[in-house]
């Protein structure tokens, strides 16, 4: 056993830092909404993140095959749809609520891929948590926008698609190049709708630090942290830690945006966290005694062990 695995403390902090960075990045993006709108903020975040990732990866595009390009294009489409619908959701409903609803996507995918009826229990537990969150999870003066809830659910569907397409890119394209180009593809897909809002934000110099911070916190920092953590932690531990994301999202929403939950809301998020962690541990037990499988770039959060680093939201 290596020293890194024997001393997992720093790696645990990296995973938690990644999750928190994602949520702080989402909270930062929400401050761009009044000027850029959710689509403009999405275009800016993806565009800046793509520039940074391309500069880091420097992919050799001339050597790519058609199959590699198809895989990257599919991932880019999922990134565009996932980010666009998620940002539209948090423009309408609290951040913690949006992330909790979105979690149903990859959790359901994990149950479907496992082909075990018992794993549907975890999906049912998470669904019960989401229903509780929607019906009694907020103070009486907070009314959830049904469109926001629906958009978060759609984002969850595309998150599941992201899990599958990121896995294909991870196998087809070595290194960071696939994610970098996919992020650029996503930025180009969002640009037609987001260009007017992005232009308004870029026209206000005071917002530029917020634009850069959003891109770095929501993409580059989480990717770097999780990639480092994956080298030091078992996949199951990684997945369980990522299961805390709805709770961290609710905490970030409260601390940075003043979004409150009722006691029932805290319990609801706890149910979703427990369901995600339980699904991860169940997957670990099933895999014991089987030959090891190579990790895909990100588990976000098990199906979480299937996800690719930093689903940039």
H helix runs in the chain, sequence order: 3-6, 9-30, 33-57, 66-90, 95-102, 104-114, 119-136, 146-172, 177-202, 208-215, 221-230, 235-242, 245-257, 263-287
Tens of pLDDT, residues 77-136: 999 999 999 999 999 999 999 999 998 888 888 778 776 777 778 888 888 998 899 888
The pLDDT assigned to 243 comes to 83
Q: C-alpha angle with apex 246: 143 to 89, nearest 5 degrees?
A: 45
Tens of pLDDT, residues 259-284: 999 999 999 999 989 988 887 777 66
CA 27 to chain centre: 14
d(CA 45, CA 218): 8
d(CA 270, CA 184): 35
Contacts 24+ apart (CB under 8 A), 180-183: 180/50, 180/53, 180/54, 180/56, 180/57, 180/59, 181/54, 181/59, 181/61, 181/72, 181/76, 182/72, 182/73, 182/75, 182/76, 182/79, 183/46, 183/49, 183/50, 183/53, 183/76, 183/79, 183/219, 183/312
CB 157 within 8 A of CB 98: no
- Out of 16-20, 87-91, 194-198, pick the least confident: 16-20
Most confident of 105-109, 110-114, 159-163, 209-213: 209-213
d(CA 216, CA 221): 6
Neighbouring CB atoms inside 10 A of 51's CB total 15
Q: What is the sign of the dihedral through the CA atoms of 83, 186, 46 and 296?
A: positive
Return the higher-pLDDT residue of 304 and 288: 288
CB 100 within 8 A of CB 156: no
Return the higher-pLDDT residue of 2 and 42: 42
Q: How far is CA 212 from CA 1, 133, 179, 203, in A?
A: 39, 32, 19, 14
Instruction: List the structure tokens of 164.
Output: 């599958």
Non-local (6+) Cβ contacts of 162 within 8 A are 75, 78, 79, 82, 307, 308, 311
The pLDDT assigned to 224 comes to 81
| Percent of the residues in the chain that have a pLDDT greater than 70, as a whole number | 87
């Amino acid at each position: 056993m290596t020293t890194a695995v024997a001393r997992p403390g720093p790696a645990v902090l990296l995973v938690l830092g990644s999750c928190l960075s994602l949520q702080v990045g989402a909270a930062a993006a929400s401050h761009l909404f009044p000027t850029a709108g959710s689509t403009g903020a999405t275009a800016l975040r993806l565009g800046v993140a793509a520039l940074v990732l391309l500069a880091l990866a420097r992919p050799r595009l001339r050597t790519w095959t058609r199959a590699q390009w198809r895989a990257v294009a599919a991932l880019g489409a999922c990134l565009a749809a996932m980010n666009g619908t998620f940002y539209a959701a948090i423009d309408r409903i609290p951040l913690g609520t949006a992330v909790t609803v979105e979690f149903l996507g990859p959790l359901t995918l994990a149950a479907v891929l496992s082909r075990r009826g018992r794993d549907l229990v975890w999906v049912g537990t998470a669904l019960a948590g989401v229903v509780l969150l929607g019906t009694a999870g907020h103070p009486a003066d907070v009314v959830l926008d049904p469109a926001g809830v629906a958009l978060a659910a759609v984002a969850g569907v595309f998150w599941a698609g992201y899990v599958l397409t990121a896995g294909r890119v991870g196998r087809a394209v070595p290194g960071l190049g696939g994610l970098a180009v996919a992020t650029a593809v996503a930025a180009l897909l969002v640009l037609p709708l987001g260009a007017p809002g992005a232009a308004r934000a870029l026209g206000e110099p005071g917002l530029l630090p917020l634009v850069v911070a959003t891109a770095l916190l929501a993409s580059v920092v989480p990717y770097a942290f999780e990639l480092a953590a994956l080298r030091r932690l078992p996949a199951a531990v990684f997945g369980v830690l990522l299961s805390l994301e709805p709770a961290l999202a609710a905490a970030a929403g409260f601390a940075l945006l003043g979004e409150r939950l009722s006691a029932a809301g805290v319990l609801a998020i706890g149910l979703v966290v427990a369901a995600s962690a339980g699904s991860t541990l169940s997957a670990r037990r099933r895999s014991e005694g089987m030959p090891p499988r190579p990790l895909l770039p990100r588990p976000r959060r098990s199906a979480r062990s299937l996800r690719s680093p930093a689903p940039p939201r």
